[in-house]
Structures are given as C-alpha cells and as structure tokens.
Amino acid sequence: MSNTQTNNIYPIFDRMMGREDKETLLKQRSVMVWFTGLSGSGKSTIAIALERELHQRGLLCRILDGDNIRSGINNNLGFSAEDRVENIRRIAEVSKLFIDTGVITIAAFISPNNELREMASSIIGKENFLEIYVNTPIEECERRDVKGLYAKARKGEIKDFTGVSAPFEAPEHPALSLDTSVLSLEESVNKLLELILPKVGA
C-alpha cells in the first residue's frame, strides 16, 4: 500500500454524526422535559398529552416513564435506596442518548429529592434540562389513588412510599410548577408549550 493510501483514511468519516447533524435532519432542537411530583399528581397524564401536542406540530418526542423503564432496562432493580439512585442514573443516561440524537425527551418519575434530580441534570446537561414540578397537593393525589397505592401505604403494606412513609423534596427552582388540582390538562399543556416551543425551534 502506498503512503498516499495509508494517509488517506477517509478523514471526513472518522467521527460519528453529532447532535447538530441530527437536529438539522429533524428540523428541531432537543431538550429534556423532566416531570417530578408525587404518585397520582398527574405527571404521566400531562407527559402523554404534551407528547401528542408536540407530535402534531411535527416534533419527534420520546416518553420515558415507570411502565417502559421498569419493565425493560431497569427490570432488575427494586426499590431500595441504592436501586432508586441507579434507576434515575440509568434513566438519565438513556435520556442523554435521546437528547444527543435530537429527540425531545420527556421523563415522568417521582424522583423524590433534589440530589437525584441534580444527578440527572448533571448527566444530561443542565443546559438541556427542564425540571417540571407537578405540584399537586398530596390530599388530591391520595383522593385519586388510581392504583390504590396510598391506601396500601397507609396500611403499612408498602414501605418507604413517597409522601406517606418517605419524604418528597420539592424542587427549589423548577422551570415550571403545575398544580393539577387547579389547572386543567389543557391549561397545563399550554403552559408547557409556552416554555418548550421556543427552545425546540418551533
């Protein structure tokens, strides 16, 4: 092989396509929308409605929540303090991959303390991280109790249940706070769109 051939190792193709390349292809900028709040506060309901609205505007999104994470990539994790940290760490790492692919990423997890959410933000990148606090009072969350979890927690059948037998730390500086006992679903989504659309270039 000649020197010319050995030195010409396709320099244009020597790196993976970057985030900007993907965002250009998708005609959008990616961002992390991280919902936090008590069980029953409305996180997943709002996340699903937000995804639908963004999709209708031609924006590609991916929702991550307990259903698709705990049944898949995190199906070997329990609910110990260590496993809860690892759960959020893996979610953040997966989210970072989506963000780097230009996809608007929506996560809906209790993530009950500032340390966990700070870890997620650091992994994903603070400049990409929008913390949304679904600030629905526990009385309303418990009244809904769609899955019967609060009732079981009150009976002691579920240990370390956030809001009952384990604490929840409210975010100190959320990008947006939503109380679904006051706001309708449509009002909540509209507030989110006002925040998100300018950031994703829509």
Distance CA 163, CA 199 (A): 33
Q: Any idea which residue has 């970072």 for tokens?
A: 96
Instruction: Say what the pLDDT of residue 11 is.
Output: 60
- CB of 110 within 8 A of CB of 18? no
Q: Which CATH number goes with the domain that contains 35?
A: 3.40.50.300
Q: How far is CA 39 from the centre of its chain?
A: 15
Residue 60, SS3 per DSSP? coil
Instruction: Say what the pLDDT of residue 10 is.
Output: 59
Report which of 149, 154, 172 is spatially closest to residue 38, judged by C-alpha positions.
Answer: 149
Instruction: Say what the pLDDT of residue 129 is.
Output: 98
Residues recognised as catalytic: 111
Instruction: Say what the pLDDT of residue 73 is.
Output: 87
Residues placed in the known binding site for ATP:
37-44
Instruction: Say what the pLDDT of residue 7 is.
Output: 59
Instruction: Say what the pLDDT of residue 89 is.
Output: 96
Range of the domain at 138: 16-198
Q: Assess if residue 5 is contained within a domain.
A: no
Stretches where the chain sits below pLDDT 70 are 1-14, 202
Q: Assess if residue 23 is contained within a domain.
A: yes
- CB of 119 within 8 A of CB of 113? no
Q: Assess if residue 100 is contained within a domain.
A: yes
Q: Assess if residue 4 is contained within a domain.
A: no
Q: Assess if residue 173 is contained within a domain.
A: yes
Query: Helix 81-100 and helix 114-124: axis angle, to 10°?
Result: 30
Q: Assess if residue 3 is contained within a domain.
A: no
Q: In the chain, which residue ranges form alpha helices assigned H by DSSP?
A: 3-7, 19-26, 43-56, 66-70, 81-100, 114-124, 138-144, 149-154, 185-200
Report which of 22, 41, 44 is spatially closest to residue 33, judged by C-alpha positions.
Answer: 44
Instruction: Say what the pLDDT of residue 14 is.
Output: 64
Structure tokens at 113: 């303390």
If one counts the domains in the chain, the total is 1
Residues placed in the known binding site:
37-44
Task: Supply the mean pLDDT for the chain.
Answer: 91
Distance CA 147, CA 44 (A): 13
Using one digit for the tens of pLDDT, what is the confidence trace for 51-63?
999 999 999 999 9
Instruction: Say what the pLDDT of residue 12 is.
Output: 60
Instruction: Say what the pLDDT of residue 190 is.
Output: 98
Its sign, for the CA torsion 5, 11, 17, 22, is negative
Instruction: Say what the pLDDT of residue 9 is.
Output: 58
Q: Assess if residue 8 is contained within a domain.
A: no
Q: pTM here? A: 0.89
Residues 6+ apart with CB under 8 A from 111: 34, 36, 88, 117, 120
Q: Assess if residue 80 is contained within a domain.
A: yes
